[in-house]
Amino acid sequence: MKFSTVGGALALASTALASEGFHKYSYEEYVVMSCKGAVLSAATFCEKDTVKTYKCDCKNKPALGSWINCIYDKLGENDKHGEKIVEEYCSEYNVTLDSEKLQKAYANATKYIVDTTKIDGFNKTAIFDTPVQYNKKKYVNYYNSYKARWGNVEDTMYLGAGLLGYWAVIFLVATIWNFLNKVAFINKAFHSKFVNTIRSKLSLSSLFANKKHSTPIQFLKVVGGFVPLRIETIVIFFYFALLFIFSGVRYTFVQNDTIWKPVAAQAARYPGDRTGVLALYSLQLTFLFAGRNNFLMWLTGWKQSTFITYHKWISRFNFIMVLIHAGSMHQQSVGMGYDKFVTRLHTFWYRWGIVAAAFMGGLVFTAAYQVRKTFYEVFLGVHIVFAAIFLAASWIHATQFGYEQFTYALAAIWCFDRFVRILRLISFGTQDAKVTIISEETLKVVIPKRSYWKAFPGSYGYLHYLTPTTFFQSHPFTIIETSDKEITFVTKIKGGVTSQIYNQLKSKPGQTGIIKISVEGPYGNPTNVTRYDTALLYSGSTGIAGPYSHALKSVQSGKNQQVKLYWIIRHWSSIDWFVEELVKLKNTGVEVIIYVSQPDSAIGSRFNGDHSSSNGSDSEQKSEKLSSNDDEKSGNLDSLKKQLDFIEFRYGRPQINEIVHNDFSESQGTIGIWTAGHNSMVDDIRSAVGENLNVAKGRVDFFDELQVW
């Protein structure tokens, strides 16, 4: 069984566990509790007796008789459910009661019962030793108050379940579609102008006309981030709408409330309870969607970045809910008097609630795009620490109200994801990888692997360089499985880990070194390139890894299909770090087209011949070298093209929409499109696919393998 599937089962079980702290009050229990208050409003039988305790009612015969008299008056003498509740309440005080004992207590009470309202000068606070009639007016007040208080909690639980149900429906539909999409006939069943219009305007479209989805937007270089797709935005919007509606419906405010007398206190407390519990429900999604081993990725076929998008937006909504919860509870505390506020402020649970809210705010604001972009490793470390503190503080705070099971579920989801990540690392083990700097822009990492460890086209793994300064960091890169014995990664040299490795290798012979490495993976959702009559593979820079793997898979399958592999690069030198892989496509029928956007750039060292002379003076050699630059470059380029004569080279920036339109026009049957590369390129390809769906003669499926968050 897949790790992700097991993780999903645990996540569901954990969420179910969270509901165990919820107690649903029945009509009979409301009556039992209200009768307690109504009797205590009529007379006092024990010192320090309160409406929240039942010790006196269970152990004092006049009190028990008065209590049962009220209960039987409301429920009838034969109501076993009410009796059962009384027995359960009294068992907490080590008092064993049964129906027979309760009937005797009732019979005894009816012989001596008195109405205290008819006793002149009756002192309600003095200890009384005779059964009394309950206060009927107070009974109504207590019943309405309890019903409003605990009915709100009950409604909140159902509404919280509704929030999860909303996502359950979405995941069910996505899972069914994902399953059907793996069946061949689905390709032909959903190809029409009507379907294509919906797809182009909804599922394939960016939110705005600027096409930006994988490309971040920024305002004044301060505020920015990735914009969800239009379909993702719709899903997010309706979830927000549910949160908004669920936070403001089904409240009942009671005059002469026996729990919170000021109506203002009720008006603050009920939304406070509602938003706090709804946030606990919604946090289950926040934690689940953030995990790398989220079982829903396997069921739905969605990318990790899609779930990260939902994770970020749901987290923002949760923070708003927590702010409303905190503000409402503060307002209720103040509304009940300054002394009540000060008392609460000194309680453990109240203070830890403040801590939880503060660190949740820290999580949201330190996750801003500019922080992640500029200080990613700092962001990641802070995010983990803040999340742990938030979880611990939430547990302490929620325990006061019986909601700690929600935090257990959150901890279970988080810990299980970490546990599976460790198992994945152990499964791969530590290997001696050959790491080479190529063209001063790329690290090529070749890692031996065990035969049972299998990758698939488009899969990715988190690379761990096991050096003292980098072992704790990991970043996802696409896997190229070149054989049963090794895998390859090509990674762009940027800041952070890749820069450290570059500095470590640049002075070594051949700029190559052996480094201990482990890989956490493989992750991703397998897609079958051979299901389509035509496979169009668009890539840029190091994004070539995924589309290339699909092309290689097509070749290995032996299926007769049209396959086009596009690779967009800036410089000729980029070919150096992928030439061995490209050569494997020679004489395979795969059409390989490489766009070089800067054709005047230098040829890489792989094809750069040595035309210098060992004779003559230095000045003569220099003059000779300058005069022969053009000829030398031309000769090197000819050498490159000769060795890669199966590749079509095109110069300049590609016109994406034109390319896609022409490919669709020339293709027959169903089309599968895979893309990975620069953010803007992927956005342009997605837009072009949506605009040209009706040009294709068969169903078109689009697979965006670029992961950004």
- pLDDT (0 to 100) of residue 622: 46
Burial 325-340 (b: 16+ CB within 10 A, else e): bbebbbbbbebbeeee
Cα–Cα distance measured from residue 235 to residue 162, given in angstroms and rounded to the nearest whole number: 15
Report the chain's mean pLDDT, rounded to a whole number. Answer: 90
User: How many other CB atoms sit within 10 Å of the CB of residue 663?
Assistant: 22
Tell me the per-residue pLDDT of 205-245, one tens digit each, with 9 for 90 and over: 898 877 888 888 887 777 888 999 999 999 999 999 999 99
- pLDDT (0 to 100) of residue 632: 59
Which is more confident, 636 or 520? Answer: 520
Tell me the per-residue pLDDT of 435-456, one tens digit each, with 9 for 90 and over: 999 988 999 999 999 999 999 9
CATH fold for domain 529-607+626-704: Rossmann fold (3.40.50)
Bridge-based pairing of strands 480-481 and 486-492 is antiparallel
- pLDDT (0 to 100) of residue 186: 65
What one-character-per-residue DSSP string does 415-445 give? HHHHHHHHHHHHHH--EEEEEEEETTTEEEE
Question: What is the Cα gyration radius of the chain?
Answer: 35
Residue 127 in this model has a pLDDT that exceeds 80: yes
Q: What amino acid occupies position 6?
A: V
Q: How confident is the model at residue 184 (pLDDT cuts 50, 70, 90)?
A: low
Q: What residue ranges do the domains of the chain occupy?
A: 27-134, 206-424, 429-523, 529-607+626-704
CB 166 within 8 A of CB 284: no
Helices 348-366 and 338-345, packing angle to 10 deg: 70
DSSP 8-state symbol, 258: S
Tell me the per-residue pLDDT of 528-551, one tens digit each, with 9 for 90 and over: 999 999 999 999 999 999 999 999
**Where would I find the H helices in 304-347?**
304-335, 338-345
- pLDDT (0 to 100) of residue 22: 79
Is residue 257 classed as helix, strand or coil in its secondary structure? coil
Class for the domain spanning 429-523: mainly beta
- pLDDT (0 to 100) of residue 605: 83
Tell me the per-residue pLDDT of 333-346, one tens digit each, with 9 for 90 and over: 998 888 889 999 99
Across residues 389-393, what is the average pLDDT? 98
Best CA proximity match to 705, nearest among 345, 348, 420, 306: 306
Tokens standing for 333? 């505390």
The fraction of the chain above a pLDDT of 70, given in percent, is 92
**Where would I find the H helices in 182-262?**
186-189, 193-198, 230-246
Environment class of 374 (CB within 10 Å of its CB; exposed 0-12, middle 13-18, buried 19+): exposed
DSSP 8-state symbol, 697: S
Is residue 651 classed as helix, strand or coil in its secondary structure? strand
CB 256 within 8 A of CB 141: yes
- pLDDT (0 to 100) of residue 218: 81
Report pTM: 0.90
CATH architecture of the region 206-424:
Up-down Bundle (1.20)
Tell me the per-residue pLDDT of 403-438, one tens digit each, with 9 for 90 and over: 999 999 999 999 999 999 999 999 999 999 999 999
Cα–Cα distance measured from residue 571 to residue 598, given in angstroms and rounded to the nearest whole number: 6
Is residue 483 classed as helix, strand or coil in its secondary structure? coil
Residue 633 in this model has a pLDDT that exceeds 80: no
Tell me the per-residue pLDDT of 459-498, one tens digit each, with 9 for 90 and over: 999 999 999 988 888 999 999 998 889 999 999 998 889 9
Burial 517-545 (b: 16+ CB within 10 A, else e): bbbbbbbbbebebbbbbbbbbbbbbbbbb
Q: Find residue 224's DSSP bridge partners.
A: 218
Cα dihedral 231→232→238→240 (10° resolution) = -160
